[in-house]
Chains A and B, each alone.
Chain A
Amino acid sequence: MAPERTVTAPAPDRAPEGAPDPSGRRPAARIRSLLSARETPVVGALVVTLLGAGLFVDMFATGRNIDFLVLSVAAIALMALPMTLIVITSEIDLSVASTLALSSATLGVLWESGVPIETALWICLAVGAALGAFNGFLVTVCGLPSLAVTIGTMALYRGLAYVLLGDRAVASYPRDWVGGVRAPFLGVEGLPWIAVAILLLSAAFGVLLHATAFGRSLFDIGNNDEAARFTGVSVRWTKFWLFTLSGVVASGAGVFWTLQYGTSRADTAFGLELQVVAAVLLGGVSIFGGVGSILGVMSGVVLLGAIRNALQLFGISSEVLQIVTGLILIASVVTPNLVARTRARRAPAPAPGPVPASAPSPASAPTKGEAP
């Protein structure tokens, strides 16, 4: 028993090194980790953009414009929330815009055939859940890559929307509903109620992702789904529910979109899924999974919207807007890479992990003399 003690004895002296140092190292480390977080650049860019646009762009900081800005990004913001979770598990859902359109078309057909909107709305959400579940089924049960699956269902759901509506538009929605979705919250101009709803939803998704066991398991799945499985996480069910959730949210966004513009068309929101994915990546979520935050993604959504809005106020054409958006995206992907590379070049190559970690154990101090 005695010799065992000599080996384990150093434990109490050694372990505190691993524990956070209470003597003030922690706040500094916290600030450093805050500055090096992936979402910091996009949050910073958002603040700069909002301040700059507010100061230098006429009409930007008016209630009406903010109102317009919020409504223009609302659908993207909604769909970006579940998309964030999906991309963190290293999957993707490209069918969201088509789901939105099919939901919108469903609403149109139901409304035309006399179903009250209160009822039609729930049917649309159920349809969205089914569409998302179908994606989830193909990805988890059939084991197909989500990129391929959702490119397929992107075309499929869009096609179904055309089957329902053809090239018609349904625009006979009741006025109080159409105006109602754009109504301000408590009468405050520049604050549509959907903004409040999105804020609350973001908070809910943020808590879910960053402060629950479920959220942690999403990061684990994205980084190493095999290890997650060995830890008791049901990778399949998790992904299945995420795709279903994405379908529900996309169809909710479809209902909102329909009433916001007062019209249902099969070609509505065409290509919007790429804007959603763009905002998610701009927000610092890794396309390879395992990294990301809700704060970053929401900043990304608003940043893209604000830049487009400010440039529009300058009277810049939509072609140029496209180009600018593309450049921002490329920059957002390139910058972190450049930063990481310069950092790696400046700092001396880190020692291979094991060397410092299992460096001299205290008991082995008198060493050299022993060599024959």
Chain B
Amino acid sequence: MDPEEVPPPLALVDVTKSFGSVRALRGLSLELRSGEIHAMVGENGAGKSTLVKTIAGVHRPDGGRVLVDGRPTEFAAPVDAQRAGVAVIYQEPTLFPDLSVAENIFVGRQPRTRLRTIDRGRMRRDTEEVFTRLGVHMDPDRPARGLSIADQQLVEIAKALTRKARVLVMDEPTAALSGVEAERLFTVARTLRDSGAALLFISHRFDEVFSLCDRITVVRDGAFVSCDPTADLDVDTVVRRMVGRDVSSLYPKEDAERGETVLEVDGLTRHGVFADVSFEVRAGEIVALAGLVGAGRSEVIRAVFGVDRYDAGTVRVQGRPLPPGRPKAAMDAGVALVPEDRRQQGLVMESSIERNATATRRGPLSRLGLLRRSAERESAREWGERLSLKSGGLAEPVSTLSGGNQQKVVLAKWLSTEPRVLFVDEPTRGIDVGTKAEVHRLLSTLAGQGLAIVMVSSELPEVLGMADRVLVMHEGRVTAELDRDEADEESVMYAATGQRPSEAA
């Protein structure tokens, strides 16, 4: 093969990196070839982020070599990596919101006119040209404020291209994108590949990895496990290599007995956000709210819980109406909400694990109005054990935990209230395969114990694997209600995009 002849634009050989006593990378090797999309998969904490930062020149490796075009190179600072043609697109880009798209792309290296002023015309033309090359439409003059995350990523990619980057690293770019947006990103990625760039794609979503990437490298515990062409792999093999054990089943759905109706939502409307949303959930049932990002799913459950207001409609829990806009009343009625953004909404990151885990139950843990620290600690310990939380001590700030363990703290926080209705919003976003399966098993067990669960999820396999019923939302309205045996990828996607299968029309 031709590409074998020329040295790869970027290769890492036996790279090691330790932080104190923790060995984050223990001999990782990776070879990124031109004209290839390379996937790296591994559990959270497997060393992916450290590797990305090493490639970006943020971390200096302790040992091993970094080869650029076959020549040993040292990245002492991010500038060195940029000069070598390496660009990293992070999950959530940080653009200057008040600068225009073009200004963001050329920030710090604006083209100059002869008078040393900024050549806006050229900046705009170059931006337009790069967008044309990527096949996307965006106004170079619009401010970056208000761009969707997907568009911000495209701006970052455009920035990388104007820097003549040959190696593009994408660190979980699709975690916050809708299906359509992700598809557009993949088109761009394929365009770049075909023009000879080397891409590294990091993702937790196997469907993306398998449809997009040419080779897959698996890492575990900071070490290289395997690297094979995608065609030679299947999901089970990859998962087994990632976790180093068999994951019996990703979606261990148990059949639960359906009980009485616990939650009734009727005609819930918030102007401009969602309209006339009605559904019921029975005890022991998992109802999934599916749809594209922005369809109004999270907004509905937040309104039901009372964090957001709504303009019309009623919510009843066990027959009793729930007053609008009062989360405390919802909690007292036995409603719990595990929010979408655990760092911003689910947890107080500066606060300790035990305080976060008990934040919902400070009343019951008090005696005569005084909080008992021992009771807090005991409750946190008990729930930590139940959810097999891995931590360095419950008094540590919750920010020291990995994403999956943080999610367990949020779950502990809400499950300890012994709710009757549990809302979970993207319960497994950004957490690793092992913990994901644990969360799924937990939800399934809880439903088996008679909890009514409403799950918002953008991951179709999760929706199809976990839900007894699927409600599909499109632009603020429920467009389909599908039973478990009716729901498949096609029927959900049709409803989510607001279309109908042709035979039904």
Contact = CB atoms under 8 A, between A and B. Distances in A.
The answer to whether A and B come from one shared complex is yes
Interface of A: 3-4, 6-8, 10-12, 14-15, 17-20, 207, 211-213, 215-217, 219-220, 223-224, 226-234, 290-291, 347-361, 363-368, 370-372
A213 B362 contact: yes
A11 B391 CA distance: 12
A215 B228 CA distance: 55
A359 B221 contact: yes
7 contacts: A231-B360, A353-B402, A357-B392, A357-B405, A363-B243, A364-B221, A364-B243
B366 interface: yes
B184 interface: no
A358 B43 contact: yes
Given A212-B370, A367-B244, 7 more contacts: A7-B438, A213-B369, A230-B327, A354-B45, A355-B402, A358-B44, A372-B226
B404 interface: yes
Contacts of B19: 348-352, 355
A347 B21 CA distance: 12
A24 to B, nearest CB: 15
Contacts of A219: 348, 351
Nearest to B405: A357
A2 to B, nearest CB: 8
A101 B47 CA distance: 61
B389 to A, nearest CB: 7
Given A18-B393, A220-B348, A227-B346, A351 B370 contact: no
Contact of B385 (A11, A348, A352, A355): A11
Contact of B223 (A19, A359, A368): A368
Contact of A223 (B348, B393, B404): B348
B225 interface: yes
A214 to B, nearest CB: 9
Secondary structure of the B side of the interface?
mixed
Contacts of B43: 358
Contacts of A233: 328
Given A216-B359, A223-B350, A357 B402 contact: yes
Given A6-B245, A355-B19, A367-B221, A12 B385 contact: yes
B441 interface: yes
B389 A18 contact: yes
A226 B244 contact: no
Counting from the closest, the 8 A-B pairs by CB-CB distance are A213-B362, A351-B19, A364-B244, A354-B402, A3-B248, A358-B45, A11-B388, A15-B385
B437 A7 contact: yes
Interface of B: 19-20, 22, 24, 43-45, 47, 49-50, 220-226, 228, 241, 243-246, 248, 252, 307, 326-328, 330-331, 337, 339, 344-351, 353, 355, 359-360, 362-363, 366, 369-371, 377, 381, 384-386, 388-395, 399-405, 413, 432, 434-435, 437-438, 441
B116 to A, nearest CB: 38
A351 B348 CA distance: 21
B371 A358 contact: no
A361 B434 contact: yes
A351 B385 contact: no
A358 to B, nearest CB: 4
A8 B248 CA distance: 13
Contacts of A19: 377, 381, 394
A182 to B, nearest CB: 34
A10 B331 CA distance: 32
Nearest to B244: A364
Given A14-B388, A351-B19, A353-B399, A364 B369 contact: no
Contacts of B386: 11
B299 to A, nearest CB: 14
Nearest to A6: B245
Nearest to B351: A223
Nearest to B248: A3
B349 A224 contact: yes
A27 to B, nearest CB: 14
Contact of B50 (A11, A207, A350, A352): A352
A19 to B, nearest CB: 5
B381 A212 contact: no
A23 to B, nearest CB: 14
A232 B220 contact: no
B174 to A, nearest CB: 19
Contacts of B441: 4
A355 B24 contact: yes
A18 B384 CA distance: 8
A348 B62 CA distance: 14
Nearest to B359: A231
Contact of A350 (B20, B330, B337, B395): B20
Contacts of B220: 364, 367
Contacts of A224: 344, 347-350
A212 B394 contact: no
Contacts of B331: 232
Contact of B389 (A15, A347, A349): A15
A348 B24 CA distance: 14
A363 B225 CA distance: 16
Contacts of A12: 385
Contacts of B359: 216, 220, 231
Given A234-B328, A358-B432, A371 B241 contact: yes
Given A230-B337, A232-B360, A212 B241 contact: no
Contacts of A357: 45, 390-392, 400-402, 405
Contacts of B252: 4
Nearest to B399: A353
Contact of A370 (B244, B337, B362, B403): B244
A220 B346 CA distance: 11
A347 to B, nearest CB: 8
A256 B97 CA distance: 51
Contacts of A363: 243-245
A370 B245 CA distance: 10
Contacts of B355: 216
A212 B371 CA distance: 5
A274 B269 CA distance: 48
B245 A364 contact: yes
Contact of B24 (A215, A223, A228, A351): A351
Contacts of A4: 248, 252, 441
Contacts of A291: 350
A58 B366 CA distance: 49
The residue among B224, B248, B353 with the most chain A CB atoms within 10 A of its own CB is B248
Contacts of A234: 326, 328
A351 B20 contact: yes
Contact of A232 (B22, B248, B327): B327
The residue among A14, A223, A291, A352 with the most chain B CB atoms within 10 A of its own CB is A352
B205 to A, nearest CB: 18
Contacts of B384: 15, 18
B224 A227 contact: no
Contacts of B20: 347-351
Given A223-B348, A350-B19, A355-B24, A7 B366 contact: no
A213 B351 contact: no
B389 A353 contact: no
B403 A354 contact: yes
Contacts of B413: 231
B44 to A, nearest CB: 5
Contacts of B344: 224, 226-227
A227 B45 contact: no
Given A212-B369, A351-B24, A355-B19, A18 B381 contact: yes
